[in-house]
Amino acid sequence: MKSNNFITVIMAAGALFLSLLLFAGHGLAKQFSELSPEQQQILSGFSSEWDKLSPEKQQRLERGASRWLQMSPEQRATARDRLARWNRLSGEEKAKIRERFNRFKALSPEEKQRLRSASERFQNLPEERRKELRSRWQNLSDERKEQIRQRLRDMTPEERQEMRKKWRESTPAERRRMMRNNRK
């Protein structure tokens, strides 16, 4: 008799637990008609399949629509351009970008800031110089690129700063010599 009561209690607890899970998941879901008219307009392409989307996907789309509504016309134009560029990428290119993004997210705040600063310095270079540097990097073998990355990862921030200082103060001939010596 005691084992039957125990089994009944366990089954009731399990049923209650499953009900709570289902109810909690359902609480996240939102009907398309519950979105604001502006959000519905932005997300109109999803209206027919909205109820088939996971609650998490619905929330991401809703947040994206809300962000879109807060953007200026210039920001929207930039976002459209970026989306068009993203859509033109191959699946392999998108996977590489996602991988780099995930690696960036895993960095320490200091490393993220260092990379942001380096990117800003690069963006502030004249266009011709950026093209030249991109071309030189793209012409390196994958093995050589990885050697450079590893060498930079192994340096302390002070060593990187000293290297940048030497580079800025060097003549083009000295820079070429430094590059040749670094290949060894």
Other beta carbons within 10 angstroms of residue 53's beta carbon come to 15
What pLDDT score does 16 carry?
57
Query: Which tokens sit at 115?
Result: 């990379």
For residue 4, how many C-alpha atoms fall within 13 Å in the half-sphere facing its CB?
A: 1
| pLDDT tens track, the chain, 184 positions | 555 566 665 665 555 555 555 554 445 678 899 999 999 999 999 999 999 999 999 999 999 999 999 999 999 999 999 999 999 999 999 999 999 999 999 989 988 998 899 899 989 999 998 999 899 889 989 998 888 888 888 888 888 888 888 888 888 888 778 777 766 5
pTM of the model: 0.52
Spell out the alpha helix ranges (H) of 2-141: 2-28, 37-42, 55-70, 73-88, 91-105, 109-123, 127-138
**Which residue is listed with tokens 């800025």?**
168
Say how far apart CA 57 and CA 67 lie, in whole Å.
15
DSSP 141: -
Say which residue the tokens 């942001």 belong to: 116
Please report, as a single letter, which amino acid is at residue 23: F
